[in-house]
Amino acid sequence: MAFVVETKGIGRRDYSENIEVATEPFIRSRQLRFFYSIRYTALALTYPNVYEAPLAFLVNGQLQDAAPSTPYLFSFLTVAANRNALVALQFNRYESYQDYLNGNIAEVLGCSYGYEKTDLRFTKPIPTREGSVYSVYIAEFSNLAFNLELAIHGLIGALETLE
């Protein structure tokens, strides 16, 4: 039942019926959304061997390995195979590109195994640090050549900074 506020007297009209129609947007004004999806076709792997996929960032039309000053927020990473085999996903951060080349992982942000598919979900997205290099380990341990779909979702921006 609609509630109508009768206008009477003088002064500003009462619009209180409708002031709460405003919504909270999914994408905030200072955010962009990114989506990364690729199919890896690779030769057979045996546990615990993995492939490493470094993540590149597009800055001013150029791809770069190091995370830019505008943070990327990773909220969802998933790998899926096309058969019921054991798959693995690990999300890594390196302090620098040199550390990436040397294999010195600064921190593992998440690791997950699963049959046919597995994922890492971050309710509060993980922001990148400027200058760090990020990669994912992916694997399927069926001892057969495989196709593995990797997808990564997230937001760009949305870290509060104080003046």
Partner 1 sequence: MAKLRTETFTVTPTGVGRKDYSQDVQFSVEPTIRSYQLPYTFQEAYILNAGQTRTIDINVPAGQVVMLYDMLMCCPANVLLSFEVQTIDTDGVVNSVFHKAGYQKVDHHLPRGVPVFSAIRLIMTNNSTLNLTDVQVSLAGQQMSQEEYFMRLMP
* Residues within the interface to partner 1 (CB under 8 A): 12-13, 15, 18-25, 28-31, 47-48, 73, 86, 88, 107-115, 118, 120-127, 141, 155, 158-162
CA–CA dist 67, 93 (Å, integer): 10
- What's the closest the beta carbon of residue 12 comes to partner 1, in angstroms? 7
Closest CA to 75 of 112, 109, 24: 109
Q: How does DSSP assign 7-63, residue by residue? A: P-SSSS---TTTGGG----SS-TT-EEEEEEEEEEE----TT--EEEE--EEETTEE
Q: Give 158's DSSP letter.
A: -
Which residue, 57 or 91, is less far from partner 1 as judged by CB? 91
Which residue, 61 or 103, is less far from partner 1 as judged by CB? 103
- What's the closest the beta carbon of residue 52 comes to partner 1, in angstroms? 16
Which residue, 56 or 109, is less far from partner 1 as judged by CB? 109
Which residue, 63 or 163, is less far from partner 1 as judged by CB? 163
- What's the closest the beta carbon of residue 104 comes to partner 1, in angstroms? 16
Which residue, 6 or 63, is less far from partner 1 as judged by CB? 6
Residue-level length of the chain: 163
- What's the closest the beta carbon of residue 17 comes to partner 1, in angstroms? 9
- What's the closest the beta carbon of residue 109 comes to partner 1, in angstroms? 5
CA distances from 153 to 18, 20, 73, 125, 128 (A): 35, 31, 9, 10, 13
